[in-house]
């Protein structure tokens, strides 16, 4: 059997081939990250063996740069193992006390890790097309949500400089307020405007003329500082906020339509289209996990265990390994199911209330305890292709 270690980079990949005794049979070489480089690798592999069944290929999951090569090798019927870089890093460090790190050394470390562990590793199998789509859609939505939050903070900061009184009496993030502030960013902008003109732009449920008079009075007495720079920044911030908000509305519509293909996970309390899409997209095919504990560890909510001699860590923290998107999604789902305004009576909420009643644990500690239960339910439902039952 031959083992191939590939150190992934953006423009090139470094490769080593060894046999099952750990002897290098094809020394370090580099291929470019294009079709010509892929064909070169295919030719080299064919020169080392007559059967693809004798080949095991390992590569680190490095951003997106490994995906094209991975798909090319799978198309040519090779067994490809996508390995966590943390594992190969530990493997490399265990072979030498020196801190030397090169692409060649990394390729050898991948080779040897694969050689020693391929029997317990699972070769990569292409995810369902819909799951790959969900991963990309959910990540874009969650990233936009983060940018949206930062943009709102920036808007509030600028208004505190330009027109601080406005935020005290009105919601600056409402649709009418954003349009209003974009056209009239400075307190001086309201001077000379007729009350009826202002009233037509106001979208509150109160008396519009009364609100228009309030805005004019606030503008007249404002302590805000007017400047051309702040005006420009305010308009840019409003434009960005509307842009991200519009994108997320479109993404949410697409995600909601695609999640109709997965009604099982949507039947679980606290799991909506966004959280469901994030969980399905990030975990991929659930059959690759042998048990619920492996599945839980993939979320990074398993505890850190540290024991040595008589020493035992009393209060452990979360490992926080794996996808940050997964942890955010399961924490959000757990909060919704436990303390959400629309949450109904369910076994998770009942357990949450019972644990909080004892008064010996922090709120977030209890939430993550519920999150583990929720993960176990998700695993069981996806593996058995059944729907949520509160009695089970």
pLDDT digits over 217-276, tens only?
Answer: 999 999 988 888 989 999 999 999 999 999 999 999 999 999 999 999 999 999 999 999
Are 104 and 165 found together in one domain? no
Are 105 and 20 found together in one domain? yes
- Residue 159 predicted with pLDDT over 80: yes
- Residue 96 predicted with pLDDT over 90: no
Distances (CA, A) of 384 to 117, 285, 370: 29, 13, 21
Range of the domain at 119: 2-126
Are 163 and 75 found together in one domain? no
In a domain, 390, yes or no: no
Q: List helix spans (H) across the chain.
A: 35-48, 67-75, 85-94, 103-117, 129-162, 164-169, 175-183, 195-201, 208-220, 228-258, 263-266, 273-283, 292-299, 324-339, 347-358, 363-384
Separation between Cα atoms, residue 171 and residue 148, nearest integer Å? 16
In a domain, 169, yes or no: yes
Are 300 and 357 found together in one domain? yes
The lowest-confidence range among 36-40, 60-64, 133-137, 217-221 is 60-64
Backbone CA torsion sign across 248, 254, 257, 261:
negative
Report the pLDDT averaged over residues 60-67. 85
Separation between Cα atoms, residue 190 and residue 245, nearest integer Å? 27
Question: Given pLDDT bands bounded at 50, 70 and 90, which one contains residue 62?
Answer: confident
Are 249 and 337 found together in one domain? no
pLDDT for 365: 86
pLDDT for 285: 87
pLDDT for 172: 93
Are 8 and 52 found together in one domain? yes
Report the pLDDT averaged over residues 170-199. 89
pLDDT for 310: 61
Are 89 and 151 found together in one domain? no
In a domain, 392, yes or no: no
Q: What's the domain count of the chain?
A: 3
Are 268 and 209 found together in one domain? no
In a domain, 333, yes or no: yes
CA-based radius of gyration for the chain: 28
pLDDT for 342: 65
The lowest-confidence range among 277-281, 310-314, 364-368 is 310-314
In a domain, 391, yes or no: no
206, 235, 256 — which closes off a domain?
256
pLDDT for 280: 95
Question: Given pLDDT bands bounded at 50, 70 and 90, which one contains residue 29?
Answer: very high
Are 15 and 112 found together in one domain? yes
Separation between Cα atoms, residue 108 and residue 17, nearest integer Å? 8
Tokens 């960013």 sit at which residue?
185
Are 234 and 289 found together in one domain? no
User: Residue 42: which of 31, 53, 28 has the closest Cα?
Assistant: 31
Report the pLDDT averaged over residues 369-378. 93
Are 304 and 336 found together in one domain? yes
- Residue 156 predicted with pLDDT over 90: yes
Who wins on pLDDT, 311 or 133? 133
256, 279, 310 — which closes off a domain?
256
């Amino acid at each position: 059997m031959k083992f191939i270690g590939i150190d992934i980079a953006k423009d090139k990949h470094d490769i080593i081939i060894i046999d099952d005794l750990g002897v290098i049979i094809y020394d370090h070489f580099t291929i470019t990250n294009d079709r010509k480089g892929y064909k070169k690798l295919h030719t080299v592999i064919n020169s080392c063996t007559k059967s693809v069944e004798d080949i095991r290929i390992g590569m680190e999951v490095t951003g997106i740069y490994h995906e094209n090569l991975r798909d090319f090798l799978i198309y040519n019927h090779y067994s490809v193992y996508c390995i966590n870089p943390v594992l190969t890093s530990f493997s490399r460090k265990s072979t030498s006390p020196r801190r030397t790190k090169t692409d060649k050394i990394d390729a050898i470390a991948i080779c040897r890790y694969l050689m020693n562990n391929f029997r317990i590793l699972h070769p990569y199998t292409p995810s369902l097309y819909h799951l790959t789509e969900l991963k990309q859609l959910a990540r874009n939505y969650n990233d936009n949500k983060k940018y949206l939050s930062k943009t709102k903070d920036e808007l509030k900061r600028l208004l505190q400089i330009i027109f601080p009184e406005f935020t005290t009496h009105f919601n600056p993030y409402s649709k009418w307020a954003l349009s209003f502030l974009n056209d009239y960013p400075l307190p001086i902008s309201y001077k000379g405007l007729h009350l009826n003109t202002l009233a037509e732009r106001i979208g509150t449920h109160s008396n519009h003329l009364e609100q228009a008079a309030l805005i004019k009075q606030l503008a007249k007495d404002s302590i805000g500082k007017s400047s051309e720079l702040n005006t420009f920044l305010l308009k840019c911030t409003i434009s960005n906020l509307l842009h991200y908000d519009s994108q997320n509305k479109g993404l949410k519509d697409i995600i909601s339509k695609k999640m109709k293909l997965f009604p099982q996970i949507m039947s679980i309390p606290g799991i909506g289209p966004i959280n469901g899409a994030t969980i399905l997209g990030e975990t991929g095919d659930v059959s690759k996990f042998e048990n619920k504990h492996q599945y839980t560890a993939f979320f990074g909510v398993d505890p850190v265990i540290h024991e040595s001699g008589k020493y035992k860590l009393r209060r452990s923290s979360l490992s926080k390994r794996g996808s940050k998107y997964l942890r955010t999604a399961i924490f959000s789902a757990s909060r919704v199911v436990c303390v959400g305004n629309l949450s109904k009576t369910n076994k998770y909420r009942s357990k949450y209330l019972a644990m909080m009643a004892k008064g010996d644990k922090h709120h977030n500690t209890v939430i993550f305890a519920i999150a583990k239960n929720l993960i176990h339910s998700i695993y069981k439902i996806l593996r058995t292709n059944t729907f949520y039952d509160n009695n089970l």
